């Protein structure tokens, strides 16, 4: 497990974060409905060459969860900006997944953040997105938030499994479920789904262009949430280089093929001279 001993107040949200390693900075940004623990099998390898920063998005994991909280994509890039400023980083390498990809891209195109390199995979970045389940929760958030615990646990476990191509163990299901359980976690789970809005990618998608840093896009070839073709489209737009398919992997590549992520990031950072902090 990754340790997140630090708390920073960013845009009114208590954000939990940690760091590991030494060297130039690298930031990892997780997606939904996960937490920074998706990087637990990846960060230790990268920390041999980089100071790796990891945090839980606003309303996720160990970060603050509260009634009425805005945890949409409109907030997450502001959290990223605030953390980078607090950490005093200059052009960090960035590794981003799912909503983390949207957060990194919004930070770049809307807030002027600049990166040493960007490795992004299975990102929420191009319309259309949002499953029928998401639409249903948006229409009936209160009913889902008030479900009996056993029903919520079963739904959550089934939902998490659809993110992976290979079976998730009971321990992994429990790891990712834990923040979303109980009187605080269960409403928070449906709150973040209810606030999923394509508007926040639509407003930045038209700005996508070649980035001023090395960019690589990876995609789980068996992604059942966002098809591989979206990865090809995103790679062509941001970098002009092909998307790298990750075989035998679904949306949650961190569980299906963590070694593919480590290899990709190591190859990426080896190709450039570190800029540092």
- Per-residue pLDDT tens for 88-100? 999 999 999 999 9
For residue 187, give every residue at least 6 positions away whose Cβ sits within 8 Å of its Cβ, in sequence order, or none: 67, 145
When pLDDT is cut at 50, 70 and 90, the band that residue 154 belongs to is very high
Q: Is 274 a residue whose pLDDT tops 70?
A: no
- CA proximity to 27, closest of 75, 88, 109, 72: 88
**What digits encode the pLDDT tens for the residues 61-93?**
999 999 999 999 999 999 999 999 999 999 999
Q: How confident is the model at residue 272 (pLDDT cuts 50, 70, 90)?
A: low
Provide the pLDDT for residue 276.
Answer: 43
The neighbour count for residue 67, using CB atoms within 10 Å, is 9
**Rg of the chain on CA atoms, in Å:** 17
The two tokens of residue 149 are: 């615990």
Q: Give the Cα separation of 213 and 237 in Å (integer).
A: 13
Is the pLDDT at 101 greater than 80, yes or no? yes
C-beta of residue 133 within 8 angstroms of C-beta of residue 159: yes
For residues 23-33, give the mean pLDDT: 97
CA torsion through residues 66, 120, 8, 76, sign: negative
pLDDT of residue 275: 46
In tens, the pLDDT along 108-147 reads 999 999 999 999 999 999 999 987 888 888 889 999 999 9
Place of tokens 């920073």: 8
Confidence category of residue 166, pLDDT binned at 50, 70, 90 = very high
pLDDT (0 to 100) of residue 273 = 56
Q: Are 68 and 195 in contact (CB under 8 A)?
A: no
pLDDT of residue 133: 86
Higher-confidence residue of 253 and 275: namely: 253
The burial of 157, by beta-carbon neighbours within 10 Å (0-12 exposed, 13-18 middle, 19 or more buried), is given as middle
Q: How high is the pLDDT of residue 138?
A: 85
Residue 277, pLDDT score: 40
For the chain, the average pLDDT equals: 95
Q: Report whether 128 contacts 201 (CB < 8 A).
A: no
Q: Which three-class secondary structure string do you get for the chain?
A: CCCCCEEEEECCEEEEEEEECCCCEEEEECCCCCCHHHHCCCHHHHCCCCEEEEECCCCCCCCCCCCCCCCCHHHHHHHHHHHHHHHCCCCCEEEEEEHHHHHHHHHHHHHCCCCCEEEEEEECCCCCCCCHHHHHHHHCHHHHHCCCHHHHHHHHHHHHHCCCCCCCCHHHHHHHHHHHCHHHHHHHHHHHHHCCCCHHHHHHHCCCCCCCCCEEEEEECCCCCCCHHHHHHHHHHHCCCCCEEECCCCCCHHHHCHHHHHHHHHHHHHCCCCCCC
pLDDT of residue 150: 97
Query: 47 phi and psi, to 5 degrees?
Result: -70, -10
């Amino acid at each position: 497990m990754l340790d997140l001993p630090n708390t920073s107040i960013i845009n009114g949200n208590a954000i939990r974060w940690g760091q590991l390693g030494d060297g130039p900075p690298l930031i990892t940004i997780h997606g939904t409905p996960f937490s920074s623990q998706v990087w637990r099998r990846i960060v230790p390898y990268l920390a041999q060459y980089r100071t790796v920063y990891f945090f839980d998005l606003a309303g996720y994991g160990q970060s603050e969860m509260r009634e009425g909280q805005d945890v949409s994509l409109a907030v997450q890039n502001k959290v990223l900006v605030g953390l980078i400023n607090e950490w005093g980083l200059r052009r960090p390498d960035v590794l981003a997944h799912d909503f983390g990809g949207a957060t990194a891209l919004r930070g770049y195109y809307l807030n002027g953040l600049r990166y040493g390199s960007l490795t992004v995979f299975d990102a929420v970045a191009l319309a259309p997105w949002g499953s029928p389940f998401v639409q249903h929760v948006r229409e009936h958030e209160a009913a889902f938030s008030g479900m009996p615990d056993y029903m919520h646990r079963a739904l959550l476990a089934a939902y998490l499994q659809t993110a992976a191509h290979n079976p998730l163990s009971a321990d992994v299901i429990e790891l990712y479920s834990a923040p979303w359980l109980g009187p605080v976690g269960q409403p928070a789970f449906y709150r973040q789904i209810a606030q999923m809005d394509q508007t926040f990618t639509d407003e930045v998608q038209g700005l996508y262009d070649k980035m001023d840093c090395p960019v690589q896009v990876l995609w789980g070839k068996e992604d059942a949430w966002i098809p591989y073709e979206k990865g090809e489209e995103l790679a062509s737009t941001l970098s002009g280089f092909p998307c790298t398919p990750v075989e035998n992997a679904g949306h949650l590549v961190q569980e299906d093929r963590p070694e593919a992520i480590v290899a990709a990031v190591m190859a990426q950072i080896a190709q450039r001279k570190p800029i540092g902090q």
